[in-house]
A and B are shown apart, each in its own frame.
Chain A
Amino acid sequence: MSFKIVVLAKQVPDTRNVGKDAMKADGTVNRAALAAIYNPEDLNALEQAIRLKSKIAGATVHVLTMGPARAAEIIRESMYRGADGGVLLSGREFAGSDTLATSYALACALRKMGKIDVIVCGRQAIDGDTAQVGPQVAEKLGFPQITYAEEIIDCTAKKITVKRRLERGVEIVKGSLPMVITVNSSAPDCRPRHAKLTMKYKRAATLSEKQDAGDDYTNIYNVYPYLNIPEWGVADIEHDIQWLGLSGSPTKVKQIENVVFTAKESKRITASDQEMEDLMKELITNHTIG
């Protein structure tokens, strides 16, 4: 029985570790100063996918990512950890996509990947925190969805049971396949790279990476076809151009502002006993505390 699991993953700038040089003087983002990482919750999703694969005979895990050429790193990283392969969706036509245009492009690529049983992705990406792409992809494909997943508990040929972690509790839900599942950071961390898989896949590359490298390993790609990471552009997916990129994005950015706080008249005090006691007395006297 074939059982196809696809993970949607995104390479994101590491907004959690933003240094002082992250913003340019003109107020735009200095992407070069930010490390590109595997979106954290997508790693939680990858782990759920690999675990699911291990429970179902004949199951496969493939990763789909949309981004620039270097996003192929995401696919290699996934293969080091247990994915069977992946596809990079790339092209300037996709630039400027908001969540809706992104989900349209991903849905087109997913249709090309054939019959899919389960799609797993992180709940949200740390560069936008929107949590929109998963449900929007599900809607575009006409699949039901289970968001905020913490664990895939059980899966048969027709039904999947998932534990959800919500703000104030848990829910266990059961739904029919195919299904889109978005995974929370409360789910188990992703396993580390597997040494043998890392050796096996370290030369995996997209066509443009092979061209850029200019090395002559053509032979190994013929001998080991699994080292070829497919790279799809708009021409490879069935699409309507008006739903891609900027024209497919209903939201427009009207304005971006650097954050400037209107400074209050603050009082600076030191940690000396005298000043600390004066402060606490003042707060008690004016009924702020006590």
Chain B
Amino acid sequence: MNNLFVYLEIEDGIVSDVSLELLTKGRTLADQLKCQLEAVAAGYQLDKIGECVFPYGVDTLYIADDKRLAPYTTLPHTSLLVNLFKEEKPQIAFMGATSIGRDLGPRVSSALFSGLTADCTSLEIGDYEDKKQGKVYKNLLYQIRPAFGGNIVATIVNPDCRPQMATVREGVMKKEIRSPKLVGKTVKLDVSKYIPDTDFVVEVIERHIEKSKLNIKNSSIIVAGGYGVGSAENFKLLFELANTLGAEVGASRAAVDAGFADHERQIGQTGTTVRPKLYIACGISGQIQHIAGMQESAMIISINNDPKAPINAIADYIITGSIEEVVPKMIKYYKKNSK
């Protein structure tokens, strides 16, 4: 009762990174709240899930193992969580802000009448005072996210409804094993008790899920372009620089919306979050959603025509100039000086 739950996303028997990141965050918050960290896995042939998640500090793992639960479909996974949450009454529940978590989360929140905040960039514990009612709530979950086109950052709380639910994108939280020796408790659920047969109304006929070809998240150098790059043609310069440096190319949402780069290259709150050693921001003005996805880069170089671009505030080096002028020079002088 009153614990912190993480819904585990599983593909081919493997727990996804976003779930492990949420377990890591969940463990820290559970320690702060002095409650348990619990995880729920739904799918087929889940014998190995325990070994994978216990090192992250999971106290209790609930397993619903049934052939019909993989691949994911909405209603059965919803019923499982709703009925389990009714029994266990968690205070907090997290899921990934993926096509699964964003399909499942709102459905569960609606059934339980609990608040859900999508795409959080930070999660903290703190108090909340409702001045109108003169009530103080202790130890609520602060769900922090940029809002309104990124011009503001909002802290959302759910004072009265449980669980307090949040989704977080992959890469936003760090993934860290607590201790390889940890082993928690496993509870096998009787699927028929939680999921009515009538839930299996949507059938997956065909499925092609590819492993992501891009690896922006783990790249140590990223050359990213924004709307200021100007064209898909100019983006080729960025690819050239990236090839020279052994880097990946990223893009801001504005550049993706303008068709300069593919969606999978998008960095920011609604894209990938990255923490490279070097981030070269080309023609990126620096809306908060973008900054949210790259501000932890060890070193940031900003190349921009506008000497007052907001991103410059967090840059280590500010180069005022055009992409066409600066990028070829970087390539030239890197080649000249590297051995």
Contacts and interface: CB of A to CB of B under 8 A. Distances in A.
B160 to A, nearest CB: 7
B153 interface: yes
B245 A176 contact: no
A127 interface: yes
B334 A135 contact: no
Contact of A132 (B109, B155, B160, B277): B109
Interface string A237-261: 0000000000001111111111101
A45 interface: no
A146 B107 CA distance: 12
Contacts of A138: 107
A134 B110 CA distance: 11
A290 B204 CA distance: 47
Contacts, number: 250
B109 to A, nearest CB: 7
Interface residues of B, number: 89
Main secondary structure of the interface of A (DSSP, over half): mixed
A130 interface: yes
Contacts of B307: 268
Contact of A261 (B254, B299, B310): B310
Interface residues of A, number: 76
B333 A169 contact: no
B115 interface: yes
A181 to B, nearest CB: 11
B87 interface: no
A153 to B, nearest CB: 10
A154 B161 CA distance: 40
Interface of A: 13, 15-16, 18, 22-23, 27, 29, 98-100, 103, 126-136, 138-140, 144-148, 161, 164, 166-176, 249-259, 261-264, 266-271, 273, 276-277, 279-281, 283-284, 288-290
14 contacts: A22-B149, A29-B152, A99-B106, A132-B106, A136-B106, A136-B107, A144-B74, A145-B74, A168-B212, A171-B204, A173-B73, A252-B130, A254-B156, A270-B319
Interface of B: 71, 73-75, 78, 98-99, 102-103, 105-107, 109-111, 113-119, 128, 130, 142-143, 146-161, 201-212, 221, 245, 254, 257, 264, 270, 277-278, 288, 291, 299-301, 307, 310, 312-322, 325-326, 329-330, 333-334, 336-338
